[in-house]
Amino acid sequence: MRRYTVLIADDHAEWCTILRRELMQRDELGEITCAHDGKEALTHIREHKPDIIVLDLVMPVYDGLYIVGSMREEMPEYRPVLYILSALSTPKSYELLSDLGISYYSVKPIEPEAVVNNILRLSGLDESGQLKPHRMDLDMLIEDKLGQMGAPNYLISTKNLMVALRISVQNRKEILPIGDIYVEAARVLDSKPATVEKNIRQTIRDMQAMGTPLFQEYFPGHTRKITNMMFLRTFTHRFIREANIYDKILVR
């Protein structure tokens, strides 16, 4: 079985070491290299053409946008799995990446285990035996956002919120009443509306207490309890606002 090469391009040496250690535990992956500035990263890409690139946008010498632009200009046929990790999370930063064929984009800080899982889900084998990035679906996008807000995907309560958000996003034009969302989510989960409501409330409470940067970005300055309806409406509005940009960023 071929083992796929990885480049981690990030100027934070400790983060590179931690992520490299996590990736080295995967049998599917072979040589894993770290580059700590843009020039070093671009030189490695030109010489070795790694299968997977985990790239920070803000680095010394060359930034991530310059690296990706140089790749597209110099090596148009070279299409690695290109995973952007950055503290930048504005619509403008998404727009700058939208035409560059980015496989996926996550906002820092993010747990290294989540990065590894995203890479493995993004990467598959096509008929020629080459890595082929997969398109992220709605559930994966919602799960990734919630993970960055501090909600582990293995908890039943998080699953309840994920299903409710999917229903809210899919029915955004109708703006379903919160009670209808509970009923539909309970049907999907084979549960009860009251249980769904309770689980969602607990997940939101835990995320608010954790106060990750992405949660604070979605709910800046909120010190009072965030209700289920407030969270669902805010998340859905923000998610849909970025939907067209996401559609461009995710692999075509």
CA atoms of 13 and 209, how far apart (whole Å): 29
- Report yes or no: 115 and 54 within 8 Å, Cβ to Cβ: yes
DSSP 3-state of 63: coil
Which tokens is 21 given?
Answer: 């250690």
Please write down the long-range contacts of 19-26, taking CB distance under 8 Å and 24 or more positions apart: 19/54, 19/112, 19/115, 19/116, 21/112, 22/112, 22/113, 22/115, 22/116, 23/116, 23/119, 26/116, 26/120
For residues 20 and 12, give the distance between their C-alpha atoms in angstroms, rounded to a whole number: 12
Question: What CA–CA distances, in Å, run from 75 to 78, 112, 124, 200, 216?
Answer: 5, 29, 22, 47, 39
pLDDT of res. 248: 41
Supply the pLDDT for residue 21.
92
Per DSSP bridges, beta strands 4-9 and 29-35 are parallel
The H-or-E segment that residue 188 falls in is: helix 178-189
Give the integer Cα–Cα distance in Å for 79 and 50.
10
The segments of the chain whose pLDDT lies below 50 read 125-131, 133-135, 244-252
Query: What pLDDT sits at residue 184?
Result: 93
* 252's tokens: 């075509």
The H or E element spanning position 74 is: helix 64-74
Burial of 234 (0-12, 13-18, 19+ CB in 10 A): middle
Q: What domains can you pick out in the chain, each with its CATH number?
A: 4-134 (3.40.50.2300), 140-243 (1.10.10.10)
Does the predicted TM-score (pTM) go above 0.75? Answer: no
Each residue of 170-209: pLDDT tens digit? 887 667 889 999 999 999 999 999 999 999 999 999 999 9
Rounded CA-CA distance 79/156 in Å is 37
